[in-house]
Structures are given as C-alpha cells and as structure tokens.
Structure 1
Amino acid sequence: MVGLAGIVCIFVMVFGGYLMAGGKMAIILKTLPYELTMIGGAAVGAFLVGNSISEVKHTLKDIGKVFKGPRWKADDYRDLLCLLYELVRLGRQNAVALEEHIEAPEASDIFGAYPRIVADAEAVAMICDTLRAISMNYDDPHQVEEVLATRMEENFNHSMHSSHALQSMADSLPALGIVAAVLGVIKTMGSIDQPPEVLGKLIGGALVGTFLGVFLAYGIVGPFAIRLKAINEQDAHFYTLIQEVLVANLHNHATNICIEVGRQTTPTHMRPSYSALEEALKSRKAA
C-alpha cells in the first residue's frame, strides 16, 4: 500500500503542479502515446537484450516485492530460531534421529511445524546440507563455514539481479528520452515553414520525450530498483541467521548459546525478545 501511495503521490504532485502553473495537458496527452512507444519500447528492448529469459522472469516476479515488502516477518525469525533449536538439540542428543529429518524434511514433523520456512527450498537446503556436513565429522569447522559463506554470497548476488537490471533501465531512460526529443526536433525542422503556433506545438511535443525519460527514470523505475535492493538486503538477514546459528553449533557452543547468537544477529525490528523466544521454545517442547 505504501508503494502504491507513493506512485499516486508522484503523479498528483508532478502533473498537479504543472496544471496549477497554468500548463495544459492537451499537448502531453497528444504526444504521450508516440513518445512512450519510442522510449518505453526501446527501454524494454534493451532490457531483453541484456538479460536471459530466466532473468527477465525473475525481475518481473520481483517487481511485486515493491508492493508486498520483505518476505520474512518477525514471526518467521522467531519460528526459525525455534526450528534451529529443535534440530541442534536433537543432533546433540541423537545424531541418527536427526538424519531422518534432514534427509526427508518434507516428511519431518519438526520441519512440518513451520510451513512458511519449509516453503523456501533454499532455507531448508541450507539447514539440511550444513547439518549433514556436521554429521560427517569435518576436522576443520571453518571448511563448512567457508562453504556457507560462499553459498550465501552467491544467493545474495542472484537475488540482487532484479535490482541491478531495473537500475540499468533507469539509467538508460533519460538518454532514450533525449533520443525521442531529437527525433521530435527533426520532425519540427521538416515543418519549419509552418506558422509559429504550429511550430510551438511540435517543439512542445518533442520536449515531452525528454520529460518522459527523466520522469520514468527518477520517478518510477529508479525507486523500484532502490526498493528491491533494500528488500533483498533485509531478506538476506534470514539466511545470515541460519549461518550464525549453525556456525556456532560447529564450534560446539551450548544449544542455548547458539540460539542466542542467532537472536542477536536478527535485525532489531524483527528480533524477538528473550522472554518471547523462551515462551515459544517452551510451547514447542510441550507440543
């Protein structure tokens, strides 16, 4: 809702201010379809040239995040800490019993208690793969830690592609607006023998191209790219929490210490209080 309200505010303030200053929408509306075809069509074409089909689909899917916000909420961070607590504790008590859960998480009653986490294949795979590596008795826990760090970096870079693609489009839009404006000037020069009122409309139409390119770049596409970047960075904290807890477990810290490390790693506005987490863990133990 905030994103939609922002878009409405942009249009109302820009065009409302233009009308209040005595501007007329007729010349803009008359020229808009042609300018939008040239500028928007060229921007979309450049976007398709610079990205693969999978990357295009990924970007289009991610645009919805601008309005939905981050995937992971405060309750999800609390549930993740509870899930990791149960898995780490079970691994310490009975490594054989843990294998049943990490080899078939879709059939696990522990994982099944957290459907939103199970729905994220990468989160589940990261947890299971790391716990499986721990069960292999790695001599150097730093090996697993390095693998986790590399995996997270690769996943983060992949998630940021949508933001980079949109930012590249935003960077190109002002230049494409100038291209459209130059074409408008060429058209105007072909009618140089017309009266001033006709030339004025032609020049005004040409300038709509420059306006449209800058407006779309800094009013729509650029903010979308910035918002996507912020959302992806925030969602990345969810996987960082997994890393911190499992790395602490690798170094044989007590289970409660491992979970507290994860709680402290959680972003402030998503972090469950110590007492709230204790209550959640007690509820899971009772269940």
Structure 2
Amino acid sequence: MPLTKAIKAGITIPELIKTAADDDDYLILFTPTGDPYKITKTNFLSGLSGVGNGGGGSGDTYFNDVVLLLPFDGNINDIKGHSVTATGTPTIDTTQYKNGTGSLNLDGDSYLSIANTTDFELGNGDFTIECWVYPTFSAQVRNIAVHRNNYASDQSWSLNTYHPQDIGKISFFANNANEISLNSSFKPAMNTWSHIAICRSTNVFTFYGNGVSAGVTTSGSSIRTTSSNMYIGQAPDSPSEKWIGKIDDFRITKRCLYTENFTPPGKLPTN
C-alpha cells in the first residue's frame, strides 16, 4: 500500500528522487500499531541480512569484512579459517548458550589462542568487535579477549572487565599502556547473557551493552600492530585474570556495524 498523507497524517512525501541511498539515509517505517519511526539504511539492511538488528536472514551483507567468526556450535573453529588452539580444558556447552547449538565454556584455567595474521590489523579503519558473554563471577577483573602479549609494550587492543572506577564494568583499551581507553557504564549481569560491542567509526569509539550506547571516546590514533596471537578468555601478562563463564558468537568485522542503539543480533550468518 503506498504511503500517503491520507493514510498517515503528518507524514510528508518528499519530492527528492535518488538512485542510491547513503548508509546514514533514513527509511520511514511503521509499527504494527501505526506509529512511524525512522531507521538508517545500514541498520535496515542489517536486520534483513542477520547482521546487527535482526539475525533472521541467511547471509551477511558485510561477510567479506568479517575477519574472525567463532559461533562455538559444536567446536571452536573459526568460520573464516584461522587456526584456533585450546589451552586447558575449554568445553562447548550445549545446554547454556545464546544462539545456535553451543557456547564456549571457560573455567578460569582455560582459554583459546588464534594465530596472528595481518587480517587482524585494525589500523585506523572502522571495526566492530562483538560477542555474547555469560559471566559466572562478580566484581572481578577478567579478560574477554585481547590482542597482545603485554599491555605496556605490544598491545593492539584488549576487552575486559578492568574498569578503574567500577571493577566488573566493560572496558576497551588499545595501544601500548592503554593509549586509547573506553571505560563503559555497562556491567554484564552474573549468570545472564549480555551482548557487548565496541565499534569504531572514523575517530569515534562507541561501546554498546545489550544494544544501548554505554560509552564513547574519540581518538585519531591508529590501532597498533602486534606480533602477538589473539586470545579469547585470557591475557598472557595477566594469567590470574582468565575468563570464568561462557562466550558465544565472537565476531570481528572491519566495518562499524552499529552507529546508534540497536537490537542485538540473533544467530550470526556464516556466509
């Protein structure tokens, strides 16, 4: 049914005609109760594709920009083909997971490492690092994922619960000695699944907890390269701060997927 003033009073039909939409252009849609709302082209397509706001589609519009995808459905394999090594006794939990058929279960003595590759170099480009977490601890410093051997000398980035004012809230650090720091206001609840995402759009870094912006910082610095492997659930220079709990659908995309609050994704597409 075409959109007209007679159907939805107060909505003016623009006369401007474009043959292509920019990522930040808006679409006007309506809720089932008839209330109008706007959504960016990027998030609209994300909802259709299964990336970002929806998860209902069969493919990922930006799959070519994905450099790491760990769904933890039956194994620890990376869909993008990078080598993943288990240390300790990490397991796949098929009873408590967010999406798919399983999640990574870590007991505080186990972790994963992914061999370093230039695929993981973020530089000064846009990116999104995201996953679901299910902590079984409270108010402790624990590492979710890092790309470093030592934070002071060869850190690319770190995602953990080391918040200087409130241990347990999520923080993102990048470059040596935490040159770039984003201490969010989001603390994932114990024994509950929470979606976390850190995005860079040009010089703006935004953290989202369960799809809601919970911290912003700006920096024009490039994310440094490192010779270190990437680690899920631990940092080599902080062996006592391994993750305790579960992680699901860990993904790194070299694109800023979220520029406003969003509905966390369902099962991530693998193509």
- Quick check: TM above 0.5? no
- Larger radius of gyration between Structure 1 and Structure 2: 1
Q: Which of the two has greater helix per residue?
A: 1
Task: Classify the TM-score, shorter chain.
Answer: under 0.3
Greater fraction strand: 2
- What is the TM-score of this pair, normalised by structure 1? 0.24
Normalised by the size of structure 2, how large is the TM-score? 0.25
Point out which structure has higher relative CO (alpha carbons under 8 A, 6+ apart).
1
